[in-house]
């Protein structure tokens, strides 16, 4: 697969090449010019600049994490049953491959050698055995630690133990580390997070590095060369207010995301019961468009059909995993920022994703005008509805609009007609 960063730069550089010199059809150049115009409508000035070079996260990570549903009530049985469920439900085949254990897996004290020890009551077989089980299913295992003296649930932290702990995780076959920010002794994140990057790298094992400093020190500005993703906000809660607040906060950093490093607005609450079906559909649609990590946070051993329908929407997942890797964002102007919101972003192949999102509690009409998407008013597009799984229109020009129910979010891919076919 072509490196998506190259793909992106090619779209821009083609602008400068005259068709005669390049020996390609003027129509193809029109198409490339349009792609470049779309990309310019979204600020991508920081795309691809700072990536950590460990070969991971070319698209946002997908999987499951124990915290949002189980919090501290975890054990090796529930982790194994979750891995089994990822396979039996088909979610693993859709890309959800990381099984991430959050806080509370370890004992309250290190052993006499100074090593972390899995809690013998809840993880009696140890993490290596669990990793073997997970790997046997073709999945990957994630673990959790903290860039401080203790984890948030007061287990030993990894600050000043980076090398020993990274070695231990690597020896267990761990594939992913979420690194939290509690008990941080008031030391700046920029000082506490790079040592673990270097320690993970020194193990020689490729380990996904998920930075969780809650957005306190504007991580988008520095974390790209430290980790594969960085939390941009405080923890999410299973409420509409929390989810929408976090979406807006994460949006500010859109221009910094790209293959290798992603803004992380925290894990999914879909299926945990605090929001309605339409609110969860909005949550998933916006997280996918924002190129957020898609880490399921419910009990997938026991999902409702509605929860499964949302999490397994292949077309929405494909937007999240699009190889171009440009974060979509809110494109409605400040005056319009109330109920009717348009969120959009460029996709590979000159396409665009457009979400029409109703943030208020009565139905509204939401309209996406071509000018905010970087398209000429005359450009004609075909429109696919990613929740109806249907092509709904063939020749739309100027504006895409729809009535949207309270707290619902419609999600479309629009494909500009090629100049070839327009002739």
DSSP output for 327-366: PPEE-S-GGG-SSEEEEEEE-GGG-EEEEEEE-SSS-EEE
For residues 197 and 128, give the distance between their C-alpha atoms in angstroms, rounded to a whole number: 21
Q: Would you say 49 or 369 has its CB closer to ligand NAG?
A: 49
325: left (phi over 0), alpha (psi -120 to 50) or beta: left
- Give whichever of 247 and 319 is closer to ligand NAG, judged by the CB atom: 247
Question: d(Cα 251, Cα 247) in Å, to the nearest integer?
Answer: 6
CA gap 40, 346 in Å, rounded: 10
Contact 288, 265 (CB under 8 A): no
Q: What is the nearest approach in angstroms of ligand NAG to the Cβ of residue 72?
A: 9
Q: How many Cα atoms are found within 13 Å in the side-chain-facing hemisphere of 351?
A: 18
Binding-site ranges for ligand NAG (CB under 6 A): 53-55, 70, 73, 75, 77-78, 201, 204, 206, 234-235, 237, 242, 245-246, 299, 302, 304
Pairing relationship of beta strands 409-416 and 62-65 according to DSSP bridges: unpaired
Nearest-approach distance from CB 370 to ligand NAG, in angstroms: 34
Residues with catalytic roles: 180, 235
Closer by beta carbon to ligand NAG, 79 or else 368: 79
Give the residue with the Cβ less far from ligand NAG, 47 or 208.
Answer: 208
Q: What angle do CA 415, 261, 63 make, to 5 degrees?
A: 80
Q: Which is nearer to ligand NAG, 244 or 340 (CB)?
A: 244
Least Å distance between CB 70 and ligand NAG? 5
The rounded distance, in Å, linking the Cα atoms of 119 and 56 is 30
**Cβ partners under 8 Å of residue 422, min gap 6:** 380
In whole angstroms, what is the distance from residue 40 CA to residue 97 CA? 34
Pairing mode, if any, of strands 329-330 and 294-296? unpaired
Burial of 351 (0-12, 13-18, 19+ CB in 10 A): buried
Sheet holding 98-100, edge to edge: 262-264, 229-231, 208-211, 176-180, 140-146, 98-100, 62-65, 294-296
d(CA 370, CA 389): 23
Q: Residue length, the chain? A: 423
Residue 15 vs 78, nearer CB to ligand NAG: 78
Quote the CA–CA distance of 106 and 168 in Å, as a whole number.
13
CA–CA gap between residue 175 and residue 206 (Å, rounded):
7
Question: How near is the Cβ of 140 to ligand NAG at its closest, in Å?
Answer: 15
Identify the DSSP state of 300. G
Nearer to ligand NAG, 271 or 345 (CB): 271
Q: Which is nearer to ligand NAG, 266 or 322 (CB)?
A: 266
Rounded least distance, CB 149 to ligand NAG, Å: 21
């Amino acid at each position: 697969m072509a490196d998506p960063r190259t793909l992106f730069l090619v779209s821009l550089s083609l602008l400068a090449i005259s068709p005669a010199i390049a020996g390609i059809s003027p129509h193809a150049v029109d198409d490339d010019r349009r792609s470049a115009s779309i990309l310019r409508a979204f600020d991508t000035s920081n795309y691809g600049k700072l990536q950590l070079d460990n070969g991971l996260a070319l698209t946002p990570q997908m999987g499951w994490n124990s915290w949002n549903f189980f919090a501290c009530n975890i054990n090796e049985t529930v982790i194994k049953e979750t891995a089994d469920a990822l396979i039996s439900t088909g979610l693993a085949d859709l890309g959800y491959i990381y099984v991430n254990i959050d806080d509370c897996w370890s004992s309250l004290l290190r052993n006499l050698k100074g090593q972390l020890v899995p809690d013998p009551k809840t993880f009696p077989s140890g993490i290596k055995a669990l990793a073997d089980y997970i790997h046997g299913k073709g999945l990957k295992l994630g673990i959790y630690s903290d860039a401080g003296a203790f984890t948030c649930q007061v287990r030993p932290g990894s600050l000043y133990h980076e090398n020993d702990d990274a070695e231990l995780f690597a020896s267990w076959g761990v594939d992913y580390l979420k690194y939290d920010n509690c008990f941080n002794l008031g030391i700046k994140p920029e000082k506490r997070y790079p040592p673990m990057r270097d320690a993970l790298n020194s193990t020689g094992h490729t380990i996904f590095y998920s930075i969780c400093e809650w957005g306190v020190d504007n991580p988008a500005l520095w974390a790209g060369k430290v980790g594969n993703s960085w939390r941009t906000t405080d923890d999410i809660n299973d409420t509409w207010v929390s989810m929408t607040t976090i979406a807006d906060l994460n949006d500010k950093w859109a221009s910094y995301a790209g293959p290798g490093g992603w803004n992380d607005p925290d894990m999914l609450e879909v299926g945990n019961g605090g929001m309605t079906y339409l609110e969860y559909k909005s949550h998933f649609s916006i997280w996918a468009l924002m190129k957020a990590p898609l880490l399921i946070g419910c009990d997938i051993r026991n999902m409702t059909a509605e929860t499964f329908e949302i999490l397994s929407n292949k077309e929405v997942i494909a937007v999240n995993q699009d190889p171009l890797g440009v974060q979509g964002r809110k494109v409605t102007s400040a005056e319009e920022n109330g109920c009717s919101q348009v969120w959009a972003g460029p996709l590979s192949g000159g396409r665009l994703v457009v979400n029409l999102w109703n943030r208020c509690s009565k139905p509204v009409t939401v309209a996406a005008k071509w000018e905010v998407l970087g398209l000429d008013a005359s450009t004609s597009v075909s429109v696919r509805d990613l929740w109806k799984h249907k092509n709904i229109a063939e020749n739309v020009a100027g504006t895409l609009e729809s009535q949207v129910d309270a707290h619902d979010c419609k999600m479309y891919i629009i494909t500009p007609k090629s100049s070839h076919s327009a002739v």
